[in-house]
Amino acid sequence: MKKHLKLSSKLAGAFMLGLTFLMSCSKSEPSEELDVPIVEKTQLVLTASSTEVEKDDEVAFTATAKGKAIEASIYINGVKIENSKHTFKEAGEYQAVAKKEGYVDSEKTTIKAFKTVVYIAGYEQESSISTAKYWENDEVISLSNGSVNARANSIFVADGDVYVAGHVGGKVQYWKNGTAKNTIDFNIVRGEAYSIFVNNGDVYVAGWEYNDQMKRTAQYWKNGTSFPLTREGDFDTGALSVFVDNGGDVYVAGYEDNGSRNVAKYWKNGLPVTLTDGINDAFATSIFVDNGTIYVAGYEYNGTMIAGISVAKYWKNGTAVSLTDGSSSVIANSIFVDDGSVYVAARGYSGYWKNNVPVPFADNVKGIPYSIFVDNNDVYVSGVNNSGSQDKVAYWKNGDLVSVSPGTKYAVGTSIFVARSLGK
């Protein structure tokens, strides 16, 4: 009997323990969860060979995890590509992501594929009448109707809008996207616009008009308001180039007759700065301001215009730098500064200068340079290719010739502007 009693006591104790356990499980209080180890996934890292490319360029992608290369799938705008390389056929902004099972997707990498558009202003001879035009890559846009002589002398692109300055029938004119703008009171007297610049939506045009004594009077217009640059009297003055810096200061390069010689000078906010001493004829043709440093291209005769030879030069903060030695006439007519390097183009030299060192065009192609522009480390020079039977509009990219007009008519490319766009 005692053994049975002891056994029953043990059973009773076990029953009470089980009942206590069941009661505890039935309570509303949460039970303690078991600790389960969590395995964290490693995130992929996507690297592109370049994040800013030209349309039709190829980009190579590399995926890594913790510094080691991983074979992963690459997606461009959500579409898986064939391998780790991709050619961007259209301009635009793209998002690239690396994916692999067992890994966290990489962060998005933005790829910008740009379309480079080369704009050239100029004119083309048609039945003895010059027609103002500009070329946008392979497309030509006529600005005048051919009824009177017209020229396009300068081109500027801002926010996708194309601005061109020149003359129609010997009267100052500018165009926006191919449409003549007559809000400026240009067409009262004869004159010509030689340069156009757009800054923060404001349109600046530099040129000249004839006064009552039939002398050229230099001036620039800002959104239609005239700012004369000439002094009173019977003297010719001309404004040939305008530049506006980030602070809104307006610089105009040109010349002024001192009664016996033409003096090269520029104006800053209307105040003249003389570049030559007036002993020889000289002209300032192009101006560029870089971080407060003022560069002016032009030329000075080593005598009179009739008997002398023009020497191509530029002035840096008023100090002259000669590019030619006066053995032959050369006219510096365009200057551009990029990343501290100074580029100058000049009629009379089939090439350009970079930091005072001459750079000839490739293959000794004959050309007459008019305008220079630097974009994305590429050097563009527009002008005339006269290696054939007829002068035609052309430009040189890093010295290599690109023909623009067909060459069936005499044509000149006076000004060049290069713009990179993400548009189609």
Mean pLDDT score of the chain: 88
φ, ψ (nearest 5 deg) of residue 15: -60, -40
Closest listed residue to residue 194, CA positions, set 284, 260, 300: 284
Percent of the chain beyond pLDDT 90? 74
pLDDT mean over 167-183: 87
Query: Which residues on neighbouring strands pair with residue 312, listed in sequence order?
Result: 299
| Region of poorest pLDDT, from 315-319, 330-334, 335-339, 419-423 | 419-423
| Separation CA 229–CA 237 (nearest Å) | 8
**Residue 19: HSE in the Cβ half-sphere, 13 Å Cα cutoff:** 6
pLDDT given at position 63: 97
Which range is least confidently modeled, 33-47, 232-246, 325-339, 377-391?
Answer: 33-47
Confidence of residue 424 (pLDDT cuts 50, 70, 90): low
pLDDT-based confidence at residue 163 (cuts at 50, 70, 90): very high
**Run of H or E including 32:** none
Which CATH number among 3.20.20.140, 2.120.10.30, 4.10.520.10, 3.40.50.2300 corresponds to the domain 116-421?
Answer: 2.120.10.30
Distance of CA 63 to the CA centre of its chain: 33
> Quick check: 39 pLDDT over 70?
no
- pLDDT at residue 183, rounded to an integer: 46
Question: Residue 3 pLDDT more than 50?
Answer: no
**Helix (H), strand (E), coil (C) string for 219-267:** EEEECCEEEECCCCCCCCEEEEEEEECCCCCEEEEEEEECCCCEEEEEE
Q: Which residue has the higher pLDDT, 28 or 299?
A: 299
Q: For 271-320, what is each residue's pLDDT tens digit? A: 999 999 999 999 999 999 999 999 999 999 998 788 899 999 999 999 99
pLDDT in tens, 66-105: 999 999 999 999 999 999 999 999 999 999 999 999 999 9
Q: Distance (Å, rounded) from C-alpha 285 to C-alpha 348?
A: 15
Q: Between residues 350 and 5, which one has the greater pLDDT?
A: 350
DSSP codes, 256-319 = EE-SSSEEEEEEETTEEEE-S-SSS-EEEEEEEEETTEEEEEEEEESS-TTTS-EEEEEEETTE
Q: How many Å from the N-terminal Cα to the C-terminal Cα in the chain?
A: 101
For residue 380, what pLDDT is reported? 98
| pLDDT number for residue 10 | 43
What does the domain layout of the chain look like in residue ranges? 42-107, 116-421
In sequence order, what are the residues at sequence separation of 6 or more whose Cβ sits closer than 8 angstroms to the Cβ of residue 416?
118, 119, 120, 121, 155, 370, 371, 372, 373, 380, 381, 382, 395
The pLDDT, as a whole number, for residue 182 is 62
R_g (Cα) of the chain, nearest Å? 35
CA distance readout (Å), 135 to 336, 384, 410: 21, 14, 15
- Judged against a pLDDT cut of 60, whether residue 12 lies above it is answered with no
Identity of the residue numbered 376:
N
CA dist 310 and 399 (Å) reads 24
Strands 45-48 and 92-99: unpaired
pLDDT tens-digit map of 354-394: 999 999 998 767 789 999 999 989 999 999 998 767 789 99
Closest by CA position to 297, among listed 249, 356, 234, 360: 356
